[in-house]
Amino acid sequence: MANVIVIGAQWGDEGKGKITDLLSKSADVVVRYQGGVNAGHTVVVDGQTLKLHLIPSGILYPQTECIIGSGTVIDPELLIAELDQLAALEISSQNLLISETAHITMPYHRLIDQAAEERRGEHKIGTTGRGIGPTYADKSERTGIRVLDLMDPEGLSKKLRWTVGYKNVILEKLYNLPPLDPEEVIDQYLVYAERLRPHVVDCSLKIYDAIQRRRNILFEGAQGTLLDLDHGTYPYVTSSNPVAGGACVGAGVGPTMIDRVIGVAKAYTTRVGEGPFPTELGDVIGESLCDRGAEFGTTTGRRRRCGWFDAVIGRYAVRINGLDCLAITKLDVLDQLPEIKVCVAYEMDGKHYQDFPSNARHFARCRPVYKTLPGWQQPTDHCRSLKDLPPQALEYLKFLAELMEVPIAIVSLGASRDQTIIVEDPIHGPKRALLYANSAPLGSRV
Ligand code: IMP
Ligand code: MG
């Protein structure tokens, strides 16, 4: 039995969808613990591409229970569209469970998200416009609508008449937008409620039961470490906690029940939305990474900003999440490059720093210090073991593992399930803390 958290070690879009899909095979339960329809997972199964936003990719395995946990925010309209998408592919969603205490994204959240972004002007965050920030803001402000409110038609109507009225003041007076009709919103959400009702349960209890029955549980993070509300590049972050610690809060489990934390990082770096990005490439190499890596957002279709691998961020992700091992994805995207750079430190005011600065103003001024490695200039997407890799690609991976002091357990070289090298068992391999105790040279483990 093992309870595992999978998180993004960069700014999201690291390829967690594929890695959780791989690991879901041996999981009995998969839990989404934060975020909402801002996330997007692309999974390719038997040549068919499936884009999921809220439903864990574990839904593709008929025996796996999939939980949308308490720490998530749910847009019922889009969740129902996902259920329809699965139904059209004859994939059962019978095993989908929704937490009673998750918060619901309402039409005013979406409107306010988009209007606030416009109002921010040059200070805009570049949100997905899906109402995520305002939904979490209402949660903190204690005016949120939860799944359990949705399940109580009378209570919901009463609550929404007041809340929509309150939000209309903001829409009209602050943003010059037309008001919403509370009765229309109520009718619409009551229809959604009945569609979702069969899936609604007490998720923390479900998870606890599963742990006691020694089931394997996979906690699936959305977005990434640098988008974390507390530990990311604030204010250019999302409004939830994608870091590993967020799994305990968002799923309702104690930290003592977690056995392992796996990080997912791309072999280079991408970011969508605004905010500093030290290794960003504004040149033809950046463009080629974007084209070869098909770096367009799953949710918004926006072109992702691309740059070299940043090991300062990598080390930070190892620390903040307590990573046991890493999965490196999209190595094949680097196949054509004659040389590859890795950011090994930051330079600010003539000094070098190896640790990620928690001061956002400092971060914005950091410049990358690069080490240049030779490229391999041959295809790797067919490689199925480390032995198949060109020596330069192996050196690149070793260099990353040494810099970040974390073993690389998985290497991904394409979107399909079989385009994967399992270096060591990511779930049952040695814990990183133990490797430290034995003072084994971590990089030599790749
Ligand atoms: P929000 O989550 O829509 O509020 O957006 C806040 C920031 O997080 C923006 O920079 C988004 O581009 C970014 N973001 C949110 N979700 C994702 C994701 O799943 N992948 C990558 N970036 C994301
Ligand atoms: Mg994504």
Name which residue sits closest to atom 2 of ligand 1, judged by CA.
Answer: 238
Spacing of C-alpha 72 from chain mean position: 12
Q: Which residues contact 192 (CB under 8 A, 6 or more apart)?
A: 76, 77, 80, 150
Q: Which ligand is nearest to the CA of 305?
A: 1
Locus of tokens 């591409």: 49
Tell me the catalytic residues.
13, 41
User: What is the per-residue pLDDT across 272-281, written as a single tens digit (0 to 9) for each?
Assistant: 999 999 999 9
Ligand nearest to the CA of 12: 1
pLDDT digits (tens, 9 = 90+) for 137-182: 999 999 999 999 999 999 999 999 999 999 999 999 999 999 999 9
Atom of ligand 1 minimally distant from the CA of 113: 4
pLDDT band at 57 (very low <50, low <70, confident <90, very high): confident
At 429, the pLDDT band (50, 70, 90 cuts) reads: confident
C-alpha 363 to ligand 1 mean position (Å): 19
- Tell if the pTM clears 0.75, that is, is over it: yes
Three-state SS at 334: helix
- C-alpha distances in Å from residue 25, one per residue of 28, 242, 323, 358: 8, 22, 21, 37
Is the CB of 126 within 6 Å of ligand 1? yes
Q: Is 125 in the pocket of ligand 1 (CB under 6 A)?
A: yes
Residue 446 pLDDT level (bands cut at 50, 70, 90): very low
Q: In whole angstroms, give the CA distance from residue 214 to residue 207.
A: 11
**How does residue 445 score in pLDDT terms, banded at 50, 70 and 90?**
very low
Triad 34, 290, 322: Cα angle to 5°: 35
pLDDT beyond 60 at 441: no
CA dihedral 285, 287, 291, 295 (to 10 degrees): 110
